[in-house]
Amino acid sequence: MTWNKILCNHKELQLFGTLNGGQSFRWTHHKEEDEWRGVFSKTAWRLKQTDDCLQYQVMGSIIDNPSDSKCKSMLQDYFRLSFNLGTYYHEWSEKDELFKSACQQFYGIRMLCQDPVENLFSFICSQNNHISRISSMVDKLCEHYGEKICFFDDYVYYSFPDVEKLAKPEVEAKLRELGFGYRAKFIQKSAAQIVEWGGKEWFKGLQDMKYKDARQELMKLFGIGPKVADCICLMSLNHLEAVPVDTHVYQIAAQNYLPHLRGKKNVTEKMYIEIGDYFRNMYGDLAGWAHTVLFCADLKKFQKKENDDCDAPKQKKKRKK
């Protein structure tokens, strides 16, 4: 199968940091082939890169016969390749010495443009959880409620389920059976709310709102707090000033920018807003993107990338037809 190409310097897109940094949980690195395999837009992809281009193949798709131009457009949108990242990195480095240091290794970190339904329910799974278990839960959602896309290299790829399927009353009990715990109720209840409010059209309305208004609307969903709401705003709704604040981001802020916050046991609502506003004042309209680079630099799994086997998600176990 031929590899298609999109011209893109590796300094403008780093697949490792972008696909392995906790934005999406549907990508797996295959070391022997030095490629990434994953799913977005109901299409299963193989990706790899050289110094000057992004290479891709479509393993399968529910979309009827996606043309090469359509696939290229999908990838350009997904990685937001219309943004000249080098320009922004230069601007952020001028404003912040910590960023200037971090970006030497964490160049080309892209803010993925994800489907809001998949993004929201993936981050419900992320609450009080670690990445391998989050990935497992997302896989279960897809396997039980998504559509089969294709069978490739002894593995079945599924699309992320439509919100209507997750809204059915019996979903909560099934997800509890599958090990989702309290998140099962959050998923079913919030899915039902989204369907009641208009489904995907409701999400489109959030894109047209101001950031803080969209965030407030998201927090009306069952089980959605400030951090998950900010993740959705940032990664799916084009509100790139949104700054999700978790323990990593709190530590970064307290140690490097806001020393009066050091030693706090919990991130209060007031602290959450203060940290987000600080980054927005420093970085501007793309504060959430800039903070993501610092977030990647802070993750322990990236600290020994060159020497450790933990530098990417473990390959998923092969699944029979």
The angle at the Cα of 211, spanning 205 to 213, to the nearest 5 degrees, equals 65
Q: Domain spans of the chain?
A: 4-87
Strands 155-158 and 4-7, sheet pairing: unpaired
Strand partners, 6: 54
C-alpha distances in angstroms, 296 versus 5, 9, 263? 27, 20, 22
The pLDDT value given to residue 308: 43
Taking the alpha carbons of 98, 102, 108, 112 in that order, is the dihedral positive or negative?
negative
Q: Which of 70, 185, 227, 301 is catalytic?
A: 227
66 and 58 in contact (C-beta within 8 Å)?
Answer: yes
CATH topology of domain 4-87: TATA-Binding Protein (3.30.310)
Strand partners, 55: 5, 48
- Tens of pLDDT along the chain (321 residues) come to 789 999 999 999 999 999 999 999 999 999 999 999 999 999 999 999 999 999 999 999 998 778 899 999 999 999 999 999 999 999 999 999 999 999 999 999 999 999 999 999 999 999 888 888 999 999 999 999 999 999 999 999 999 999 999 999 999 999 999 999 999 999 999 999 999 999 999 999 999 999 999 999 999 999 999 999 999 999 999 999 999 999 989 999 999 999 999 999 999 999 999 999 999 999 999 999 999 999 999 886 555 543 343 334 444 444 544
Residue 84: closest CA among 115, 110, 54: 110
How many Å apart are CA 109 and CA 13, to the nearest integer? 6
Helix axes 226-236, 287-298, angle to 10 degrees: 110
The residue behind tokens 């806001």 is 258
The pLDDT value given to residue 64: 79
The pLDDT value given to residue 33: 93
The pLDDT value given to residue 106: 94
The pLDDT value given to residue 302: 59
225 and 268 in contact (C-beta within 8 Å)?
Answer: no
Strand residues in the chain grouped as ranges (E): 4-7, 27-30, 35-40, 43-49, 53-61, 148-152, 155-158
270 tagged catalytic: no
What phi, psi does 148 have (nearest 5°)? -70, 130
